Amino acid sequence: MTYDRLHNKLNAYVDHKLSAKLMEEVALHLRTCEDCRKELARIEKLVSILKEDAIPDVPPDLAVRIVAHGRRQLSGRIAHPRRWLVPHIYTWDSMPGYVRAAAAVVLIVGLTVGTLLGLSVSHEGNDQNVTIATQESDPVAVFNLDYFSDTPSGSLTQIYAALSTPQNGVGR
């Protein structure tokens, strides 16, 4: 048995949780390997200490003290304790002048192009709005419901179209 394979089984060997065959193999290896015997002695000492000493009670304010200690440690190294949680972001003042100038140019060009495109779309949209306003009395034309014309009479589609068409001055 090699050191690496045995090293992972020493805890189970001390607790007698290996099969009889593996227990024998570990015992044979321990006779020839000084490092494994030292590790076994360390584990056995730890087990005896844990069995002898009772587990101490945890003070009720332990978590508060740990967090306070961590904050004290951080406050000495970092000016803003929360800043280390966020990746570094360049601020306007930390950017070189040419980067600020380029950003300003991109912003101005973008706003100008966006405004011009918005104006051209709004003028085209006004022509459509006039067309829609003139046809507003016929919802079939306004909402492109003319593909419902082939539906059988008395169907739900025909009822919806009849209800949405103004009759005798009654609105939609």
* Residue 106 Cα to chain centre, angstroms: 31
What's the angle, vertex CA 49, arms to CA 44 and CA 55, rounded to 5?
135
The verdict on pTM exceeding 0.85 is no
Distances (CA, A) of 84 to 44, 75, 87: 43, 11, 7
Calculate mean pLDDT across residues 151-163.
Answer: 72
Q: Is 60 exceeded by the pLDDT of residue 119? A: yes
What is the predicted pLDDT for the residue at 127? 54
Compute how many other C-beta atoms are within 10 angstroms of the C-beta atom of residue 1. 15
Distance between first and last Cα of the chain? 89
Calculate mean pLDDT across residues 104-132.
Answer: 76
